[in-house]
Structure 1
Amino acid sequence: MKSKISIREVAEKAGVSTATVSRVLNKSLYVSPELEEKVNRASQELGYVPNRLARSLRIGSSGMIGFLIPDIVNPFFSQIVKGAEDYLRVKGYFIFLVSSSGDPLKEEELLKALYSRNIEGIGAILLGELPESIKAISSHLPIVIIDNYQDWEGVSYVFSDNYDGMRKMMDYLIRAGNKSFAFLSGPVNTFSSRERLRAFEDAISEENSDCEIHFGDYTFESGREMLRRLKRIPNAIVCGNDMIAFGAMMELAEMKYDVPKTVSVTGFDDILFSRMTNPRLTTVRQDGYAMGKAAGEMLLRKISGQKTNSKVLLKTSLQIRESSNG
């Protein structure tokens, strides 16, 4: 069995000292671009893999970021993770990913488990109310909350303008002449759900339109189930996210309703599949990848002791497609 390549072998091939190799690989001190290129080329040619455990023991840095998401199946959360991972990997960090399956009790359990590990920061997408343990963790470890917001000192947030995105959708649907609506919401205690529902209710109250509201989960199955609960099919069915919309559209198809001729259906997120359905889904686009990248940037600034914003609010945009009449 071939033995692991050592840092000394890399130094010999590059024609530099082991100290120089260490500086380049650990990014600890300045090294000229010429020497850095020599070391990186030698490392790649030899297939050198740094021993991260030894490095963490030596300099007190694991290079690991804990990341908690509520649902590993939902493509929107996957995009957030990818945005963070792509940014952090370039900076020499790796993600340790865990999923709560949307269970608030499991969220707190996993947060505490991450905190107990040798990680340098936490990025967390929490569906429910933020647990009090966040405050305790944030006083000892950099933490960024994603797609959620609660004004707590010491905690940083990255989230989209959910209210503005849903208001744009409602203004579009009302201008199109829709008079009756149903809102199929995500979990009632979720920040994004509350903001989207608030925008929906504000628009409805201003127009004095007829509406019906149901609460469920951000899942395909929940979309189907909430659709079955409707007392009647309205002009427009506004869904809390794209996964709910896909479920609603499937149920409507089985009930022989024509989308959009009989009823319009809209979503929120603009995940990849929203452009693959037939008809393609009208939705609100929020940039999950940019959200993850911004969270990664905030975490590294906090880890290095730099000042950072307490919150980053990202804009949304309306994506009008064939699932709505307008």
Structure 2
Amino acid sequence: MRWIVRLVVLAVIVAAIGLWVTRPKTDDAELLAGLTPDTAHGEQVFIAAGCASCHMAEDADAEDKLVLAGGQPFASPFGTFRAPNISMDPEAGIGDWAAIDLWNALHHGTSPEGQHYYPVLPYGAYIHMAPQDVVDLHAYMQTLPADGTPSQPHEVGFPFNIRASLGGWKLLFLTDDWVMQGDLSPELTRGREIVEGMAHCAECHTPRNALGGLKTGADWMTGAPNPAGRGSFPDLTPPEMSWSEGELVEYFTSGFTPEFDSAGGHMALVVENLSQLSEEDRAAVAAYVKALPLE
């Protein structure tokens, strides 16, 4: 009996250590202290990050896209996730969030209540945002409308509905290391900030392992099946991606391919976002794509 008691005690200790190591992480407000918000830059961050593309109501159009009432479904092998209301309503949305709450959500995947967010919120990419980016984004979002539509629950079954397990997922896959390394030019550095960070391009264009983590190295941006089960996202590395930088910039601007086809599906929303960035930013994204594959 004594060895059974010891085994139970050991299991409890290991479990407690595991819960402590994988607990939701947060930073204190001092991290953002002294930063002056720039609402105009925050709008550019909002556009590059595709916030409205995911959090607008289904079939929203024109100015209604800025009413971030949520509700769009995102199917995956782990269940169907619903984009929450992130409008400025203090009850249904995030109107009562401070800038540090937004930082912790985007950087650590942690809610103001201290719970893990599912990585359908691409904090694995947003972790690359600088503190100033988040402060500016928070300031811009405060200028957007409030909407009282309640967020819809995710449709996720056991065991994926156990949020505590997400701490282990973060321990394995959440890192602020850049994937494209080396002595990069200013243009490539900016392209990396957009592609790997704000625009979270790899979330669609990079294959995943069995636990849903993005594969890096030679697999980075080599295309992936659509988690909703319809088609796939294209490989952005050569020889599959043969467009020139100029052709990529044109695609990001107008949505037209060199073959005079046009962007469709969710990519049409991505192009809509990219087209609102500066031409320099679109050129930086094109430069990043043409610098692939990684060695």
Given the two structures, how large is their TM-score scaled by the length of structure 2?
A: 0.25
- TM-score normalised over the length of structure 1: 0.23
Q: Which has the higher strand share?
A: 1
